[in-house]
Amino acid sequence: MTDKRLLPSSLFIGNIPQYSSEKDESYPHIQQPSILYNYKNGHSSSEHAGAQFNILYDEGEDNDEQTSGCLFELTPPTTIPIQRVSSEDDFNFYGKRKRAKFIGPYLFGDVIGQGSYAKVKECLDRRNLCRRAVKIMQRRRLRKTPHGEKMAATEIRLLKKLNHPNVIKLYDFIRNDEKQKLYLFIDLCVVSLQEMLDSDEHQRQTKAFPIWQAHRYFVQLIDGIEYLHSKFIIHNDIKPGNLLITIEHQLKITDFGTAEQLDMFSIDDTISRSQGTPAFQCPEIANGEDTYSGFSIDLWSCGVTLYNLVTGTLPFEADNIYLLFQTIGKGVYTIPDDTEPHLTSLLHGLLHIDKRQRFSVEQVKQHEWFRRRPPRTFDFLPFPQLALNRFQTCTMQDYLIELHRTSTLSNDNNHIEEEAIKISNNPVAFFNSPYDNQQMNRQPNGRTALNCSCSRTLSGDNIPSIKSRSRHSPKICVLS
């Protein structure tokens, strides 16, 4: 009788293996999930990949029924087994699920930006389904940054007073004393002008904006600067990196950490310090003068920014900051010959070495190049694609899917993290008061409020109560 050895022709569950008359003693390792099947009693079980297939059988009385009493055995290697998956089970084929996290009324998304002491995430306001950005500051990192806590307090103090289409808007402020974190909920912007200049995706000989596009952004910048100066606020650090663009191409002035607000009874705009970026500093600062004109500093920085947008370079460059300040102090720069005459005139007015002859906001708005909109061309500098996923424009999708998945299950809330919040009326108190979870907060009407699980926002809306999983509670600050 011939040596009957069984070798499966298919390794999928339910397929019946076939006989092979080959006398090879070694059998190949199975590279796919295989099955243990006993034809006599119909019992089967699933094993993992990489198993050795050993076949045992006994000869039945009827040789024609060669499948009688056949037993297929698997000798599993020492690897992780693969479990049988049912279509009714909740199984994720794409790795670890993202955990939906709520702080107050906001569902958090992925990180879209990061700095030295803060990072920015996308978030969704569940009250109105508006997409926002949340700037998360860690107090530990603020302390390591020179003047970090002071800059953060200044930014919060100024932003809660500002409301203009071309200035970043602060909607809510939440502090978590347990984790020593600050949450600033602001307008969602997709890119900065500096990122657009540095992008390698556009096929251009020079990394500069077309004239019509630079004009569009510069007009919005001047409108925002005019509003800030009307509020006696000097930004002190105007540059493309601090000018953010929304998806609708609306410019937003941001980063008010180095800003300074004049006293409303001041006779002029004189200030005695400036902490802006060196390449955008004016000649009076580079020459070491004791006092400066605050409004003139911002207009000079606007001129350097406009020069950078239309040429792709800076008017003053050097190998080190000492040589850079020497170049700026002399006020010598060159404008490309092919620049439009009206634009050249505006640049000369903004970058005048004498602050008394430098253009003011009113002079800029009356200038011919500012009032006349350049004709639009097909040349356009687009937004750079996201680094991780060029087709992903919203980072909230995975978290919304996870939130929907958990809401459809009866008792599965392990992937939703919510934090209770406590009413507080002093946002800046985070920087100068110790943490006291039992401290009662005094309300404007003279009443006291204990720890509670509802939040009050700029609009005064109440949020449904939120259950807390931690012993401590973060605090939300009412911005008035």
Check 237, 319, 354, 412 and give the catalytic one.
Answer: 237
Q: What is the three-state SS of the chain?
A: CCCCEEECCCCCCCCCCEEECCCCCCCCECCCCCEEEECCCCCEEECCCCCEEEEECCCCCCCCCCCCCCEEEEECCCCCCCCCCCCCCCCCCCCCCCCEEEECCEEEEEEEEECCCEEEEEEEECCCCEEEEEEEEEHHHHHHCCCHHHHHHHHHHHHCCCCCCCECCEEEEEEECCCCEEEEEEECCCEEHHHHHHCCCCCCCCCCCCHHHHHHHHHHHHHHHHHHHHCCEECCCCCHHHEEECCCCCEEECCCCCCEECCCCCCCCEECCCCCCHHHCCHHHHCCCCCEEHHHHHHHHHHHHHHHHHHCCCCCCCCCHHHHHHHHHHCCCCCCCCCCHHHHHHHHHHCCCCCCCCCCHHHHHCCHHHHCCCCCCCCCCCCCCCCCCCCCCCCCHHHHHHHHHHHHCCCCCCCEEEECCEEECCHHHHHCCCCCCCCCEECCCCCEECCCCCCECCCCCECCCCCCCCCCCCEEECCC
User: Residue 271's CB: how many other CB atoms inside 10 A?
Assistant: 17
Q: Is 90 a catalytic residue?
A: no
Distance CA 336, CA 319 (A): 22
Is 365 annotated in a binding site? The answer is no
| Amino acid identity at 253 | I
Q: Which residue has the tokens 């907060």?
A: 441
- Bridge-based pairing of strands 106-114 and 118-125 is antiparallel
CB 294 within 8 A of CB 234: yes
| Amino acid identity at 18 | Q
Catalytic site positions? 237
Binding residues for ATP: 135
